[in-house]
Copies of this chain bind each other. A is one copy, B any other.
Amino acid sequence: MSLRHALLGLLAHGPASGYDLTRAFDGSIGRYAWHAGHSRIYPELAKMTEAGQVVVEETGPRGRKTYALTDDGRLELRRWMLHWPEQTTVRDETVLRMFLVQSLEPEDARRLLEGIAAHCADRIAELRPLMDAEDAEHSPGAQVPFGRLAGEYGLRQYEAVHGWALWSLARLGATVPG
C-alpha cells in the first residue's frame, strides 16, 4: 500500500489537492519511484480521509479540495519511513531488461548496451548543470531545497548505469573480439 505513503510524503511538504498530487506523480517521483494516475489518487485520498490521516483543509473554486496531513498521517508516514520490511516491492522494467541482456545475441546485446550508455550520458549532461545551478543559488546553512536529494540520487543512478553499461560492453566484447 505504498501509494498511500507516497501521498502522505508529498503532503508532508504542504497541503495539496488531488490534482496537484497527480501532477507531482508525472514528475521525477513517478518516473523513478512510484507512479499513480488521478483515478487511483482520488479514491485513495477518500480512504485516507476516512482513516483520519488527512483532512480537507479548504475547498476552493472549481470544487478544489486541499488536503492536509493530520497528526495520525504524519505518524504513519514516519513509521513507514523508519520501519523497512525485509522484502520491499520492486517492479522496474528497465532493470528487468538489464537482467536479461544476456538472453540476446551478442550483437544485439552490444547495441542495447551502447544505447543505454548513450542515453545515460545524455541525461547526465542534462542533469549535472541543473544541480550545479541549484547548488550555486543555495546559501550554506539554508534548508536543502526539496527534490535536491532526489535529484542527486537520479544523477548518481545514471552515472552508475552508465559505468555498468561500459563495463558490460568491455566484458562482452572480450568474448567476440574484432
Contact = CB atoms under 8 A, between A and B. Distances in A.
B99 A29 contact: yes
- Chain A interface size, under 10 / 10 to 19 / 20 to 34 / 35 or more: 35 or more
Given A144-B172, A172-B144, A9 B100 contact: yes
Q: DSSP class of A's interface residues: helix, strand, loop or mixed?
A: helix
A175 interface: yes
Nearest to A96: B33
- Count this chain's copies in the assembly: 2
A168 to B, nearest CB: 5
A92 B34 contact: yes
A140 B172 CA distance: 10
A93 B92 CA distance: 11
Interface in A8-35: 9-10, 12-13, 28-35
Nearest to A85: B93
